[in-house]
Structure 1
Amino acid sequence: MWSSFEIKVEKLQQFAIGQRWLSDTETELGLGVLIDVDERSISILFPKSDETRVYARNNAPLSRIVFNVNDEVQDQEGHKWLVESIEDRHGVLRYNVLRTSSDGETERKALNETRIGAHIQLSKPLDRLLASQVDYKEWYDLRIEALQMQAQMHRSPLRGLIGARVGLIPHQLYIAHEVGQRFAPRVLLADEVGLGKTIEAGLIIHQQLKTGRAERILILVPDSLQYQWMIEMRRRFNLQFSLFDLTRTASIKEHDPDLNPFLTEQCIIASVDLMVDHDDLREQALEAGFDLLVVDEAHHLMWNEEEGGNDRYDLVEELAQQTPGVLLLTATPEQLGVESHFARLRLLDPQRFSSLERFLDEEEQYLQTAKIAEVLMSDEPLAAEHLTALQTLLGHSIEDVPEQRYRAIHELLDRHGTGRILFRNTREAIQGFPGRDCQPAALIAPENWSMDGKLREQMWPEEGQLDGSWMENDPRVPWLMEILRKELKHNKVLLIARSGPVVEALENVLRLHAGIRTAMFHEGMSLLERDQAAAYFAEESYGAQILLCSEIGSEGRNFQFASDLILFDLPANPDVLEQRIGRLDRIGQENRIQIHVPYLIGTAQERMFRWYNEALNIFSSISPTAQTLQENFIVDLKDCLLADLGQKFEDLLEEVNVQRQALEAELQAGRDRLLEYNSCRPVVAQKIVQALEDYDDNTMLPMFMKRFMSSTNIDFDEQSNGTVIIKPTDQMQVQGLTLDEDGMTATFYRDQAQIREDAQYLTLEHPFIESVMEMINTQSFGSTNVALLKSNALKQGSILIEVWFKVDVVGPRSLNLPSSLPRQLVRVLLSETGQDLSEKIDPVILRPYLHHLDGNSCRQVVKARRDVIEQRYSQALESAKEGLPVLKEQAKKYYSQKWQYEIDRLSYLKQFNPSIRQDEIDRLTKLQKEGVDLLEDISLTPSAIQVMVVVKP
């Protein structure tokens, strides 16, 4: 055991290849060796877990491991040596060590620190106690509670779901749980608009990162959605993605021409077009390599058998071929035809979907399966032909009873079709959407209004008058003031316009001339200012009546608590219009949406309104065909918008309306209810929701954190609205926490976090809480205590020794080995005479009888009872070790069975469902063996020690 070595925090020293370092944030990786260093970064190999980390040189979260004379060290072969002396050779230490063999022979040698074993055992609590470094009783209690919460978190099936700022929506949580726990998931998320595909993808990404299944992630999106994705990842999941555009990549190259920009960050969001238009960036992204590729708006990836794919498709295909995990997102999986739908499935699994003809044949057969499944899911009795067909499909007969019908549905789901890689929920299946109504406001155009010229000038003339002079004769301005003063006086109103200057001009008029409480939200504001504006709008009693947003207001924020939307202008793109409406028309909306649309009669504005309303029907409901129809008729539409073409425009509206209805009827007829059911199995989904509700109701985190902050001099101020303001202070007694100098507004409650987007949602998976837990886990905080135990049941003046050990197993995070341990903490409680009281006296029973002892008295107790403390500590260690063999076998058995169940299930289903990949089964088998081997090396790390002096009450 290595009992007294030093962990030196030498952030500014000269790094040298061969030095041994410990990760402050991932201690489970074991002892690392520095293998590469340059001006900006260092690379550390962690041999035990077979992982390499690259850190920025200036702020690497690492501590140098230095052993002292008389320390016991272990070499890579597992032999133990005693340090006699130490030499420093150009920054790398050489230990002169000795050991005595069983026959009494002494062996000496020089052991470079590069040859030290990767498994490290810490036993600092005893050293600190004997050196009279005694912590506060409260710190000791907090340490034990933190270790217990961490152990519980390791075992929790909710890991990766707890920390997201999302509502408990069953279908979203089901997909996230189903996909997020896979290794290298490759799926198509195809929920209808407004059902939360971005949230589902974010939950999957969050789980993959938290469980170590992925570390490098690339998100490819259209230009207009980059900012939305970055905000969603940050606000909802506390994930810091870097936005890569031409400016940023050029800046990196200018600084270092040889540096691959995609190796400078772990999590990246980039535009699809950026990669398509710049071959060098495309090649560098391929060279950098990622664990997970996410592609939004995947219906723009087009392909056919004759011509192949478009530029975007070819790009994604190249990346998908060398990226283990792939998520494709589209609201319209079959909108552009079955060929393009097949092509997207082909990106996910080119072996399974190698032939369009075979795919069409399977789809036809699958339709029969879906029809039988629909009967199973209904109340309709099963006819003889249904039972016969089911026997053919399942390989066994069933009876027409509820339990067997339910089981048959799940067998069909597992065996047939694309259910494992395609998830699609529909509004009709999910339900809970109140609907929306259009409230047009036809206004008379002023005499000087432009009726010809460029379309931009006709539609949005205000954008050409940045001084605000357009407001003097624009009838939309007095209309806006009037409707806010009267009809919408008591309502929360969201207004969206195309640009920031228009929003600023309107806000100025409403606030100064109409006396209306306003808030703004546009690209010229900082992130903090936007948060504050959103929070002011969310305030019920004294908040803003109206929030005025530029186009970014339709991206990345949801305001379901409002139900009135004013579209001050209309965008040119139906997808953008749907995004605007989608800020209110989402799950959680309790009222029908009222969409107020002012337009000037006889102008391009009116014709654009009629196009959206009469041809695409986009104000009344989501139109899955709108974007495609507009692209198909864009030439005729532009002609009609530029000038009043009378009957030609009327004919266009009628033609497109007929096509839209036909396409929607076709989509409805082709609804795959079996697929929808598979995308949200209600029983499973409800269990996940219930588990998260139980966590929310029973978590001890709020009380724990309040005690922690109070005892460490972190400033926190509880607000009446359920939030807390947390700030660092000069008197803080802990270091290394993820807490900005300016502090933060936060909440521990999910419902409050849903409303107050300016407040961070604190859970065990929030970076600040994780930093607290990591600090406790890796530093000496609260590891020693001496307390008074007031009791008449024990001998007065005697002492009890309580020692807590962590059960450690080093391995890749992705294996989550700690979750297989029956116990992650071992507590040993001994009397002064050595009687084991661990099972007889629970720590919860002791706590009310334990009281603080002043520092001087603590030192006297330790000095007087030093020999007894050392003896009982050695006894506690041996006692804890005795249970390791049984614990090890239990862990290996549990871990092996857990993986074997999934391996057997997938192997069986692969006989019927070719969408299950052999490489997935092979990977699970490999991980099973790897984990079982690593569980052989379970060990104990002393974590805390407490001496209790018995006195009379």
Structure 2
Amino acid sequence: MRKLQQFAIGQRWLSDTESELGLGVLIDVDERSVSILFPKSDETRVYARNNAPLSRIIFNVGDSIQDQEGLDWIVEAINENHGVLRYHARRIDENGQDVVKDLNETRLGAHIQLSKPLERLLASQIDYKEWYDLRIQALLMQAQMSRSPLRGLLGARVGLIPHQLYIANEVGTRLAPRVLLADEVGLGKTIEAGLIIHQQLKTGRSERVLILVPDSLQYQWMIEMRRRFNLQFSLFDLTRTAAIREHDPYLNPFLTEQRIIASIDLMLDHPDLHEQAIEAGFDLLVVDEAHHLMWSEQEGGNDRYALVEDFANKTAGVLLLTATPEQLGVESHFARLRLLDPQRFDDLDRFLEEEEQYQQTAKIAEILMSDEPLDSQQIQAIEALLEHDFTDEPEQRYRAIHELLDRHGTGRILFRNTREAIQGFPGRDCQPVALPKPEDWNTTGKLREQMWPEEQQLDGTWMETDPRVTWLLEALRTDLKHKKVLLIARSGPVVEALENALRLHAGIRTAMFHEGMSLLERDQAAAYFAEESYGAQILLCSEIGSEGRNFQFASDLVLFDLPANPDVLEQRIGRLDRIGQQNRIQIHVPYIEGSAQERMFRWYNEALNIFSNISPTAQTLQENFIVELKDCLLSDLSEKFEALLEEVNQQRQLLEQELQEGRDRLLEYNSCRPKVAQRIVNALEDYEDNSLVPDFIRRFMSSTNIDFDEQSNGTVIIRPTDQMQVQGLQLDEDGMTATFYRDQAQAREDAQFLTLEHPFVESVMEFINTQSFGSANVALLKSNAIKPGTILVEIWFKLNAIAPKLLNVPASLPKQLIRVLLSENGQDLSEKVASHVLQPYIQHLDNNNARQVIKARREIIEERYQQALDLVKTQLPQIVQDAQQHYQNRWQHEIDRLNFLKQHNSGIRQDEIDRLEKLKQEGLAALQQVNISPEAVRVMVSVKP
């Protein structure tokens, strides 16, 4: 069998990255994309033609092939017609009759086996002992991972933060999740969304993902998905879509990629692109900044709301992200819930009535969560809600809380964690620096010229008279001398001018981070800044520095200028004010006295209070008073400005008080059940403490001539070489810096985090799955208990059930791998002698002697192999029966739970239950078709120690 790469309808192809889909058939092809139908798993994939991860499968004369009826044939001749093959094949039927048939490759069965260990062994294609051991270890690791509840959570470069992992696990394991993520700023909504996306993709629950964001956040999301989750998203803007359509006017651009990030404004400005994106279809829609989706009962939704509603109605899974779920009014909050479940949230008045009822439920839950004893009236209220008896005991309280949480109205659809509930934030202090105004300072020009005059002089001459530069130089030599300092300014040229002055004229160790640099250069700058002893003292960032990167190890922030938008200012501060910050953040704000800069500082500080605390109302208040604010910024209208500051400050306090009073503590508890969250954290820590990945990858690289260099700082540099003995791995020509340790991966943004879910490790596993690597070996077995010259035969079989990935059928198999160990005379030693017991006594045998062993014992080896296959086949019916029972129980438990909850919580969707039932039946049917494939065979020759 060989592989080819030319496309024609009807050809059979194998996915290089998803071999579990079985053998696919090419059903459509054009200049940019190919569509492959995988009949066995009932999946269709659309791939970009120029980089499709596909292998064309062509069988050779003498190969065994299987047709769609499951009959085996031997290929005798091959003909080709317009790129599609016709096999002339022969078989002996059940009556012993010789049958000849011509089989088009379209009639081949979907199951394919790439490795034939026995044939390779008998042909003396013998692998190294280390390769054989690596193959077995890889198969065992994959089998363990398929059963792990941590699938999809392992590979992300994120801290093990309980509330984030809780939400990711709760939402990511659902089929077609539709939820509103509404954590406060700094608690990691983007990370939560990324974890959910990652888990959905890794488990097969989603394949096609569309992320809709404001223009300013496109690159942040693209970088975040790549940097933290190893997910490659394509950014679709007008230039890209136009280029695709220019090349092929009839091609839908949104069918050329599986994972896409696009601007909401792009869709609004170009309705044809909106229609094409809808037509292309996605499994999961993610919408950031969802508070911009406005709606009222009288006027309906704004254009953004209508656009997202169109997508939400046609997309199974929807994630909406907002830090302020009720900031813009209860109507808009209801409307966002309505986007997620229009049947459940179809009437605003009824929603308001239910919310009042849930407030009562929340009050009872608060009483249960307190340590105070309950009186008889409270117990009666609890019993009325639970509809069964209740006694005031710790265990009963715990159960009652969780029953109320499961029944809570928005508990399955809305997740909101607050800083007050999560805690662990040291706080922040503002350090204003008022500087005297130079004589020639502009106080009458346009607002841009008054606020950011340095941007008008790109040659850098502004630095000679700007007092902020002098202050910065002095501060870095004195008060900030031994501290890590993050500086953010609006533009790249300003950052470059400042960095040049600090490095060349003041001898300060600096690093730079701006949009003109490549991702690699930014990574290197961030890593240099992160180094404790010899790293940069200051990292100077343009506005892009406030997007997508976190520097919690630093606690001093210099705002060289102030942005015009309070959300952008909060993003800047949020680079340091995040979970994991150990110190109070010091925010240094230099400004020119008597200028628009001072007035902007006072607006943020005295009206919006944004430097001291996160202000959930800041953006709304600024939008409401934007006209008055601009007038005051442009001219020194002291009396009017003072009145404005006082009025907005009072409104802010009232709004914040209303938000505090409206806090739903039951919802907050439901958004992070501490004991459940901690169990997830503990499970991840235990897995990583006992992970076999570091040892496995080191051995694999060493045995295949991949260059790797262990560094003293806990990283490893991996590079391809000309002598590499494997191909097709996810490894760039320039190599990569990586680490096996989560803490190190978080501290060093240039180091990739190697886990079983990293693309490089996945490509190693896929290589082993689809190639013959390590599948045949002959070795020496040092033993006094076995007569010298006697052989033992070890065969590993894999149980395969081809089905859509989201069903995770293999996890229900009690055994995915079966090892059979037979003595030369056929005694079954499988249970008596474990693999790990033999391992220390097995040694390498050179190829010449190994070939002699095969030649001399060929007949016995074939007999033992057939005996092993028969032994496994006798086990198969019981394995299938046990697997079906386990699979039935696993899915039925969730179906029963949702049916019960549906009686009390109308937030449970019937379509969700129906789909679970359908998938349960599909999985049970797939388990009926479990087949056996040999994965590896080893012959061991006994010798004296």
- Of 3, 16, 22 in structure 2, the residue corresponding to residue 9 of structure 1 is 3
| Rounded Cα–Cα distance in structure 2 between residues aligned with 1:291 and 1:687 | 30
Partner of residue 341, structure 2: 349
The answer to whether structure 1 residue 67 and structure 2 residue 32 are counterparts is: no
| Rounded Cα–Cα distance in structure 2 between residues aligned with 1:106 and 1:732 | 46
Structure-2 change in CA distance of 1:889 and 1:461 (3 Å): same
The RMSD of aligned alpha carbons is 1.2
8 Å Cα contact 1:9/1:62 also seen in 2:
no
In the TM superposition, what is the alpha-carbon distance from 1:119 to its structure 2 partner?
Answer: 2.0
| Rounded Cα–Cα distance in structure 2 between residues aligned with 1:671 and 1:424 | 10
The answer to whether structure 1 residue 520 and structure 2 residue 512 are counterparts is: yes
| Rounded Cα–Cα distance in structure 2 between residues aligned with 1:37 and 1:600 | 63
8 Å Cα contact 1:789/1:850 also seen in 2:
yes
The answer to whether structure 1 residue 469 and structure 2 residue 458 are counterparts is: no
In the TM superposition, what is the alpha-carbon distance from 1:64 to its structure 2 partner?
Answer: 3.1
8 Å Cα contact 1:122/1:942 also seen in 2:
no
Partner of residue 808, structure 2: 816
Partner of residue 932, structure 2: 940
In the TM superposition, what is the alpha-carbon distance from 1:258 to its structure 2 partner?
Answer: 1.6
TM-score by length of 1: 0.98
| Rounded Cα–Cα distance in structure 2 between residues aligned with 1:566 and 1:59 | 44
Partner of residue 3, structure 1: none
The answer to whether structure 1 residue 277 and structure 2 residue 277 are counterparts is: no
Partner of residue 828, structure 2: 836
Partner of residue 164, structure 2: 172
| Rounded Cα–Cα distance in structure 1 between residues aligned with 2:87 and 2:445 | 84
Partner of residue 790, structure 2: 798
| Rounded Cα–Cα distance in structure 1 between residues aligned with 2:435 and 2:514 | 27
The answer to whether structure 1 residue 764 and structure 2 residue 756 are counterparts is: yes
Partner of residue 358, structure 1: 350
Structure 1 stretch displaced more, 92-101 or 691-700: 92-101
| Rounded Cα–Cα distance in structure 2 between residues aligned with 1:378 and 1:116 | 65
- Of 745, 752, 761 in structure 1, the residue corresponding to residue 737 of structure 2 is 745
8 Å Cα contact 1:415/1:909 also seen in 2:
yes
Identical counterparts, % of pairs = 79
8 Å Cα contact 1:789/1:951 also seen in 2:
yes
| Rounded Cα–Cα distance in structure 2 between residues aligned with 1:500 and 1:41 | 38
| Rounded Cα–Cα distance in structure 1 between residues aligned with 2:859 and 2:689 | 46
Amino acid of the structure 2 residue aligned with 1:539: E
The answer to whether structure 1 residue 18 and structure 2 residue 10 are counterparts is: yes
Write the mapping of 1:306-325 to structure 2, written as runs, cut at 5 A: 306-325=298-317
- Of 23, 28, 31 in structure 1, the residue corresponding to residue 20 of structure 2 is 28
Write the mapping of 1:234-249 to structure 2, written as runs, cut at 5 A: 234-249=226-241
In the TM superposition, what is the alpha-carbon distance from 1:39 to its structure 2 partner?
Answer: 3.0
Partner of residue 131, structure 1: 123
8 Å Cα contact 2:790/2:824 also seen in 1:
yes
- SS of 2:354 mapped into structure 1: helix
| Rounded Cα–Cα distance in structure 2 between residues aligned with 1:270 and 1:102 | 58
- SS of 2:928 mapped into structure 1: helix
Structure 1 stretch displaced more, 575-584 or 446-455: 446-455
Partner of residue 611, structure 1: 603
Partner of residue 230, structure 1: 222
The answer to whether structure 1 residue 479 and structure 2 residue 471 are counterparts is: yes
In the TM superposition, what is the alpha-carbon distance from 1:885 to its structure 2 partner?
Answer: 0.8
| Rounded Cα–Cα distance in structure 2 between residues aligned with 1:831 and 1:355 | 73
Structure-2 change in CA distance of 1:220 and 1:59 (3 Å): closer
Amino acid of the structure 1 residue aligned with 2:795: V
In the TM superposition, what is the alpha-carbon distance from 1:69 to its structure 2 partner?
Answer: 4.4
TM-score by length of 2: 0.99
| Rounded Cα–Cα distance in structure 2 between residues aligned with 1:339 and 1:38 | 47
CA deviation string 1:501-528 (max 9, x = no partner)? 0000000111111110000000011111
Partner of residue 536, structure 1: 528
Partner of residue 141, structure 1: 133
| Rounded Cα–Cα distance in structure 1 between residues aligned with 2:92 and 2:241 | 59
| Rounded Cα–Cα distance in structure 2 between residues aligned with 1:123 and 1:407 | 52
8 Å Cα contact 1:888/1:936 also seen in 2:
yes
Partner of residue 431, structure 2: 439
CA deviation string 1:871-923 (max 9, x = no partner)? 11111111111111111111111111100000000001101100000000000
In the TM superposition, what is the alpha-carbon distance from 1:646 to its structure 2 partner?
Answer: 1.2
| Rounded Cα–Cα distance in structure 1 between residues aligned with 2:122 and 2:57 | 22
Structure-2 change in CA distance of 1:121 and 1:10 (3 Å): closer
| Rounded Cα–Cα distance in structure 1 between residues aligned with 2:58 and 2:470 | 75
In the TM superposition, what is the alpha-carbon distance from 1:44 to its structure 2 partner?
Answer: 1.9
Partner of residue 826, structure 1: 818
| Rounded Cα–Cα distance in structure 1 between residues aligned with 2:550 and 2:264 | 25
Structure-2 change in CA distance of 1:39 and 1:646 (3 Å): closer
The answer to whether structure 1 residue 568 and structure 2 residue 560 are counterparts is: yes
| Rounded Cα–Cα distance in structure 2 between residues aligned with 1:19 and 1:250 | 31
Structure 1 stretch displaced more, 538-547 or 446-455: 446-455
| Rounded Cα–Cα distance in structure 2 between residues aligned with 1:692 and 1:641 | 52
In the TM superposition, what is the alpha-carbon distance from 1:165 to its structure 2 partner?
Answer: 0.3
| Rounded Cα–Cα distance in structure 2 between residues aligned with 1:349 and 1:934 | 32
- Of 897, 902, 913 in structure 2, the residue corresponding to residue 921 of structure 1 is 913
| Rounded Cα–Cα distance in structure 2 between residues aligned with 1:807 and 1:391 | 50
In the TM superposition, what is the alpha-carbon distance from 1:360 to its structure 2 partner?
Answer: 0.5
| Rounded Cα–Cα distance in structure 2 between residues aligned with 1:683 and 1:15 | 53
Write the mapping of 1:439-458 to structure 2, written as runs, cut at 5 A: 439-458=431-450
| Rounded Cα–Cα distance in structure 2 between residues aligned with 1:220 and 1:64 | 35
The answer to whether structure 1 residue 900 and structure 2 residue 892 are counterparts is: yes
CA deviation string 1:56-92 (max 9, x = no partner)? 4444333333334454433222333444443333332
| Rounded Cα–Cα distance in structure 2 between residues aligned with 1:915 and 1:779 | 47
Write the mapping of 1:708-727 to structure 2, written as runs, cut at 5 A: 708-727=700-719
- SS of 2:310 mapped into structure 1: helix
Partner of residue 391, structure 1: 383
- SS of 1:420 mapped into structure 2: coil
- Of 491, 515, 518 in structure 2, the residue corresponding to residue 499 of structure 1 is 491
| Rounded Cα–Cα distance in structure 2 between residues aligned with 1:906 and 1:423 | 18
Structure 1 stretch displaced more, 183-192 or 854-863: 854-863
Amino acid of the structure 2 residue aligned with 1:799: I
Partner of residue 188, structure 1: 180
Partner of residue 781, structure 1: 773
In the TM superposition, what is the alpha-carbon distance from 1:247 to its structure 2 partner?
Answer: 1.6
Partner of residue 615, structure 2: 623
| Rounded Cα–Cα distance in structure 2 between residues aligned with 1:51 and 1:21 | 13
Write the mapping of 1:599-678 to structure 2, written as runs, cut at 5 A: 599-678=591-670
Write the mapping of 1:244-259 to structure 2, written as runs, cut at 5 A: 244-259=236-251
- SS of 1:21 mapped into structure 2: strand
Structure-2 change in CA distance of 1:745 and 1:104 (3 Å): closer
Structure-2 change in CA distance of 1:862 and 1:616 (3 Å): same
In the TM superposition, what is the alpha-carbon distance from 1:720 to its structure 2 partner?
Answer: 0.7
Listed as ranges, the gaps of 5+ residues in structure 1 are 1-5
| Rounded Cα–Cα distance in structure 2 between residues aligned with 1:104 and 1:735 | 43
Amino acid of the structure 1 residue aligned with 2:37: L
| Rounded Cα–Cα distance in structure 2 between residues aligned with 1:63 and 1:642 | 64
In the TM superposition, what is the alpha-carbon distance from 1:612 to its structure 2 partner?
Answer: 0.5
Listed as ranges, the gaps of 5+ residues in structure 2 are none
8 Å Cα contact 1:121/1:940 also seen in 2:
no
| Rounded Cα–Cα distance in structure 1 between residues aligned with 2:701 and 2:275 | 48
